[in-house]
Structure 1
């Protein structure tokens, strides 16, 4: 694999103070989010016996407002739109139905299936009522390429076409940093991870992979759902979820949602 460097690309621009970015896809502009986890509160009740008030309305309005503010043509969801592993039901199904009904009619949706999305493509069947004649595309978790952007969820190895893009964007990790002040106070903040993809961990997974213009830029998107926790990327004993991280992120840096650059994520 060639290790020549690509130049930085403006394909993906984070929305200030939000776990979302706007992508230039050439013919379209898209809002990119990851890990919406509809029905998460119901999952906590079922899986752990925890009673947490639903934030479904807050999540939906936040997303709807972002779509209106950015004026995009498409919504790209990098996996885990829903939380349950199987078919959505109960509160989760209701949240998804109301969500799709509230989206602007002229905004298409592309969903990369995450490990929590189960058989969501059967619910979003082309002839299903839930689609309301909307342009909806569901792709497998190893992802696809849209213009110069490669998208995948991150729970499995990306498709080769994803790695051929200028920028590769994924979710799944829910990246966070644990920050400590001078008097010992601690807080956890969601972050973006950005850097050059390191081809080394991919060598054993792909028979041939060359990068004529150097490896792509790699962007790990913070979770849209702020209840789900995540990987503390600056804590050495934390294990990453993606099979190619952290080794696949060469000299990656962390950025807070407000754009503050924290520097190399391992040393934050």
Structure 2
């Protein structure tokens, strides 16, 4: 059975792929300070070294055999250059000195695969499987763990996976106390996907009610952003705007979890 276990207190999870174990993270957004400088004129001290050290510490601490980035390894849209490319080069080098690196191409990763073709294994935006599933008699694969970034619909071939892992949303929850104070925290979102997400039709009726028909699709795990400066989607705020073209309608149900493992329950009611 495919397992994806979050690392307590971290925006990362370990996936058991049978023959190997992989550390999964999403939305590293290396070079974000450079991007914010050009995009918004905001000057922030770079946390490049801190991000790289934190990621390498997770690899070392979990003893995994591979790192998988679920898209948006880079921040600026376009081929990496200048300071951003330098940060990416240092990050890729530090990771690949330890384990192989797989990148699921995200909407911010244009040119990254070409720039680091000798160092990074690439999965196209529609997604793919990690490890090996069970071969059927029809030349298809069932079970296992599928990965994609989330800015496109998943490839129909992933319908038979047990678990689908994605990034892109940067899910967050806004929590309020009894006296009106509030804070925002990164969160996980997990729930069963409706099978129609993998087809060409509607991803669901969008009602999100308990009367919605049960789904026989795989479990979806939406990863919090690894980069704490990248903002995100408030998944528990009415009228919140999801980024993925199949969310939230494509979820039959879904629970939100904080990084420390606290289960908040139905994300629509948090």
TM over 0.5: yes
Match of 1:67 in 2: 59
Q: Is the contact made by 2:190 and 2:254 (CA closer than 8 Å) also made in structure 1?
A: yes
CA distance in 2, matches of 1:18, 1:204: 35
Q: Is the contact made by 1:198 and 1:215 (CA closer than 8 Å) also made in structure 2?
A: yes
Task: Find the residue that maps to 2:268 and give its secondary structure.
Answer: helix
User: Structure 1 residue 119: deviation in Å?
Assistant: 1.4
CA distance in 1, matches of 2:92, 2:196: 40
Match of 2:173 in 1: 177
Match of 1:156 in 2: 152
TM-score (norm 2): 0.88
Match of 1:210 in 2: none
Structure 2 counterpart of 1:230, from 229, 232, 236: 232
Match of 2:85 in 1: 93
| Mapped pair 1:139 → 2:123 | yes
CA distance in 2, matches of 1:89, 1:203: 37
Aligned length in residues: 246
Match of 2:111 in 1: 119
1:89-137 CA-partner distances (Å, limit 9, x unpaired): 11111111111221252511110000000111110223xxxx3xxxx31
Task: Find the residue that maps to 2:121 and give its secondary structure.
Answer: strand
Match of 1:217 in 2: 219
**Structure 2, unaligned stretches of length 5 or more?**
133-143, 203-214
Q: Is the contact made by 1:171 and 1:223 (CA closer than 8 Å) also made in structure 2?
A: yes
User: Structure 1 residue 205: deviation in Å?
Assistant: 4.4
1:117-164 CA-partner distances (Å, limit 9, x unpaired): 0111110223xxxx3xxxx31121111011300000000011122222
Query: Which of structures 1 and 2 has the larger relative contact order (alpha carbons within 8 angstroms, sep 6+)?
Result: 1
User: Structure 1 residue 201: deviation in Å?
Assistant: 4.5
Q: Is the contact made by 1:150 and 1:161 (CA closer than 8 Å) also made in structure 2?
A: no
Q: Is the contact made by 1:152 and 1:162 (CA closer than 8 Å) also made in structure 2?
A: no
| Mapped pair 1:51 → 2:56 | no
Q: Is the contact made by 1:197 and 1:215 (CA closer than 8 Å) also made in structure 2?
A: yes
- 1:201/1:27 Cα in 2 relative to 1: closer, same or farther (>3 Å)? closer
Q: Is the contact made by 1:76 and 1:110 (CA closer than 8 Å) also made in structure 2?
A: yes
CA distance in 1, matches of 2:254, 2:245: 16
TM-score (norm 1): 0.88
CA distance in 2, matches of 1:101, 1:254: 34
Q: CA RMSD in A?
A: 1.5
1:49-102 CA-partner distances (Å, limit 9, x unpaired): 001111101100100000000000000100000011111111111111111221
**Structure 1, unaligned stretches of length 5 or more?**
1-8, 207-212
Match of 2:182 in 1: 186
